[in-house]
Amino acid sequence: MIQDIINEIKEAEERAAQIIQNSRQEAKQLILSAEISAENIKRETVQRIKEETKKAVREAEEAARAESQKILNAGKEAADKLIKDTEKRWKSRRALSQTSF
């Protein structure tokens, strides 16, 4: 009878040890799975941010080119107007100088 109790206690201890070992193994697997998931999320997030950044840079470059072109066009128009005005003044002065003599 005492031997039966001792055997039952040993069996219970062995089952408990097995349960602990299984739990530890399962915990390790859960941790590894969580680490892999976290790394995948990190990688995807970094990739998404890189793509968003590239897109923002492209859009900013396009906007800058468009604004630069507007400025260049306005400058050309102002220069053309200045040239025309100068030509008119020179023509007027020539005409005045030729009629003065």
Give the pLDDT score at 63.
Answer: 97
* pLDDT tens digits in sequence order for the chain, 101 residues long: 899 899 999 999 999 999 999 999 999 999 999 999 999 999 999 999 999 999 999 999 999 999 999 999 999 999 999 999 998 888 787 776 776 55
Full domain range(s) for residue 69: 1-101
pTM attached to this predicted model = 0.56
Q: Hey, what are 74's tokens? A: 């306005």
Domain count, the chain: 1
Q: Hey, what are 70's tokens? A: 């507007």
Q: What Å distances lie between residue 79 and 14, 66, 82, CA to CA? A: 96, 20, 5
Give the pLDDT score at 100.
Answer: 55
Q: Hey, what are 60's tokens? A: 């900013």
How far apart (Å, rounded) are the C-alpha atoms in residues 8 and 59? 75
